Amino acid sequence: MHLLRRSMLSVAERPTVERLLRNDRIAGRVVWRFVAGEDLESAISAVRELALLGITATLDELGENVATREEAESAARDCVTSLRRLADAKLEPNISVKLTMLGLDLGDDIARENVVKVLDAAREVKGFVRIDMEGSAYVERTMAIFEDLHDRYPAEVGIVIQSYLRRARSDVERMIERQARVRLVKGAYAEPEEVAFQQRSQIDLNYIWLMERLLEAGNYPALATHDPELITAAKQFVAEHAIPHDRFEFQMLYGVRRDEQQALVDQGYRMRVYVPYGTAWYPYFSRRIAERPANAVFALRQIAFG
């Protein structure tokens, strides 16, 4: 599974593949299944449509690894705008951000300063900001910045923990201790064996352990998975331990397993969809295709047969 992901990512990194997706009309249809559009208004329309189905959303303007302070400050302004536009539209002001988009490569202080601007806006509109986790090279710095911010904005900021990382159990315990809100994911980056589990069975077992700890002792955990076995495991654990459905939520990606998203809502569970948008969609899209063979099969079928 790990080798397949690496192979697919290496193909996705070829400039010719990106050009095809950006310039081919049929290939573009595949992209817009997983990405809500290139501008904020398209994304807000997608959030509004989800709300009509009883599904909440977290909005994410795509982008990472900015090269200048001006780009980082511009990204922070965009985040503030998205929070305020959601509030103005009477939609929940909930967004996700990457620290490298807010200047982490330029320095921790620059990233922290930009996130503070976003969190101040979140506090004003009674919103919430989830700091996404990136590759393993950024994890410790991200955790340190998050903990500093969580001390100051405990109600406005949350974090992501990746179950394929070997350090995930200790990180979850740290987050439980401070009652920080955690989104639990498997992880979508190609990581070396010394840092991350390589077998799907190991990653899944770790996910279940982390999920159960968060359901038992965490603060409103978000269980982000499309895996039917993990969803079933969560349902069983919740039922066995009489955990109310308002103590946690499921999360899925925009365009993935739409029927299951609605089914969970119909069963009385809370569901939030991660809604990405923006012109810098290609790295996100390629990771989504690489991490799930079903996504790749869907994409190739659409391109081949329209």
Is the Cα dihedral 295, 301, 304, 306 positive or negative?
Answer: negative
Residue 9 token pair: 């990512």
The set of residues, in sequence order, having a beta carbon less than 8 Å from that of 49 and lying 6+ positions away, is none
Report angle CA 209, 149, 244 to the nearest 5 degrees: 40
Per DSSP, the three-state class of 198 is coil
State the catalytic residues: 132, 183
Q: How far apart are CA 227 and CA 236, in angstroms?
A: 14
CA 227 to chain centre: 15
Write out the two tokens for 230: 């993990």
Three-class SS state of 250: strand
Buried b (16+ CB within 10 A) or exposed e, 150-178: beebeebbbbbbbbbbeebeebbeebbee
Assign residue 255 a region (left: φ > 0; alpha: ψ between -120 and 50; beta: otherwise): left
Q: Are 121 and 79 in contact (CB under 8 A)?
A: yes
Residue 220 per-residue DSSP state: S
